A = this chain, B = another copy of it.
């Protein structure tokens, strides 16, 4: 197991607080170990550090009450959506109360005229998309898991469509959030643009629950494109696949998705998702627009791919074939896990300027091989963002040590290339130690903001910053 940082002083919820919460929330309050451990589930090698209790909130007003009660005792609060974050954002290293927001899952308003909607934080991305599909609308941000939109905002999530549609930072118009003092704020109104003061919306996005708890989101929506074409293209080399992605972006082709999967990942997907793809480095691509626009984009992309050793250009023109393809992509992490039963899967991500992507991917692949580690590589290469899903034997101390070293080198390699130690997974506990290298003096400004908004450090302590 990874070393947890020097044991911080516990700030567990006192019996009196637990009794108050139990009385108020009845069967929506739990101290059961299984429930507590499930609410600290993580995909790192950090220990499971369960909260003292879990409360299932059903309204912003309830969240306010819980925050006020915890604040009165200086007890930490850890917000929980679907439990799919990847850097131990949900651990409770000094104890505290987990607020489970998954029951706050109402879609409050959909406004086709304004191409926006207002929802509660527990609504998931597939729930939202099912709801709005009949109105000809879709919500593009799609991390692998069917995450809650509150959690996606909190971790500044993105996914396969970000290359065209942006990330959570681009798609959120406004948030409501309960701040550490119990006040419910609204960060902005619904105008598409504003210059009226500090951008609290973007400050809360990516703050991982350390500044406030998101209780409502207003999101932009997009019209479903008239035409969609998806394709799979195998390559002779990993470099050829990555360079094709780089060229497509540099040529200004408005690709909607451009995903790289290495040969091992394709092997895993073939097994897990019952596909029959050639087990070579591969790009999954998708184009959106009118039929003519899509045809043009496909032709431009095919030319680039062929120049870089692309073969086997297969189209999924039927909607069900496309769904199967993207479902396989979204299930890639589970597919990897199935490659080595009993292994612990640890997902890590990094993001670099696209001109450095091929270099970063190839150095990372060489590092993986040199360290004799099993891991698949895949990523949102149009953004310069890629993942490694390591499969390590938790009982093998040497392998764990090599895996830790690999993850650290990847973070530092990305930073040295003017990139970031995390493109979309967030900091949580897993990436805390790389922020100094990445941000330098800017980290002091982040700390000053944290201290100003949350002076008692009750909001998800030990995430982004060490406890």
Could you list which residues of chain A lie within 8 angstroms of chain B, going by C-beta atoms? 111-116, 155-158, 162, 166-167, 169-170, 179, 183-200, 202-203, 205-207, 211, 222-223, 225, 246, 249-252, 289-290, 292-293, 296, 351-355, 383-385, 414-415, 418-427, 431, 434-435, 438-446, 448-453, 464
A445 vs chain B, min Cβ distance (A): 6
A94 vs chain B, min Cβ distance (A): 20
Give the residues in chain B near A423, CB-CB below 8 Å. 191, 193-195
Question: How far, in whole Å, are A167 and B169 apart by their CA atoms in the complex?
Answer: 13
A192 and B351 contacting across the interface, CB-CB below 8 Å: yes
B193 and A383 contacting across the interface, CB-CB below 8 Å: yes
Give the residues in chain B near A252, CB-CB below 8 Å. 222-223, 225
A194 and B448 contacting across the interface, CB-CB below 8 Å: no
A453 and B448 contacting across the interface, CB-CB below 8 Å: yes
Give the residues in chain B near A438, CB-CB below 8 Å. 189, 196-197
Q: How many copies does the complex hold?
A: 2
Give the residues in chain B near A424, CB-CB below 8 Å. 193, 195
Question: How far, in whole Å, are A166 and B171 apart by their CA atoms in the complex?
Answer: 12
Give the residues in chain B near A431, CB-CB below 8 Å. 196
B113 and A351 contacting across the interface, CB-CB below 8 Å: no
A452 vs chain B, min Cβ distance (A): 3
Question: How far, in whole Å, are A412 and B278 apart by their CA atoms in the complex?
Answer: 61
Question: How far, in whole Å, are A290 and B252 apart by their CA atoms in the complex?
Answer: 11
Contact of A443 among B197, B290, B384 (CB under 8 A): B197
B202 and A114 contacting across the interface, CB-CB below 8 Å: no
A-B contact pairs, 9 of them (CB 8 A): A114-B354, A155-B195, A189-B415, A196-B431, A196-B438, A199-B205, A203-B203, A448-B452, A449-B452
Give the residues in chain B near A183, CB-CB below 8 Å. 441, 444
With contacts A169-B202, A192-B384 known, what are 7 further pairs, Cβ within 8 A? A112-B250, A114-B353, A189-B420, A194-B422, A198-B207, A292-B296, A445-B453
A193 and B114 contacting across the interface, CB-CB below 8 Å: no
**Nearest neighbor of A157 in chain B, beta-carbon distance:** B195
A185 and B113 contacting across the interface, CB-CB below 8 Å: no
Question: How far, in whole Å, are A183 and B424 apart by their CA atoms in the complex?
Answer: 28
**Nearest neighbor of A167 in chain B, beta-carbon distance:** B193
Report the 3 A-B pairs with minimum CB-CB distance, sorted nearest first.
A452-B452, A202-B202, A223-B252
